[in-house]
Amino acid sequence: MSWLIILGVIVTCFGLGFLLYTIGRIWQAKKDKLSNEEMKAQLRKAVLWNFIAMGCSGLGLMIVVLGVTF
């Protein structure tokens, strides 16, 4: 089931892309020197994107394991 491995790698790469996007948003927020409340709002949004990134990466790796197993 090599197609399952390829699909898992693609999903994992999307997760890594989301993670890089999250890091970029935090760096930009630090660079903009936002107020305390604005920084908290940005960090809350970043936490959501981080959960999405980790979930996507984890799901992709599970798909890869299924592809290797079967």
Q: What is the pTM of this model?
A: 0.86
pLDDT band at 1, cuts 50/70/90? Answer: confident
Q: Report the pLDDT value the prediction gives residue 39, as an integer from 0 to 100.
A: 94
pLDDT digits (tens, 9 = 90+) for 14-53: 999 999 999 999 999 999 988 999 999 999 999 999 999 9
Band (60; pLDDT cuts 50, 70, 90):
very high
Where in the chain are the domains? 2-69
* SS3 of 7-70: HHHHHHHHHHHHHHHHHHHHHHHHHCCCCHHHHHHHHHHHHHHHHHHHHHHHHHHHHHHHHHHC
What does the pLDDT read at residue 54?
97
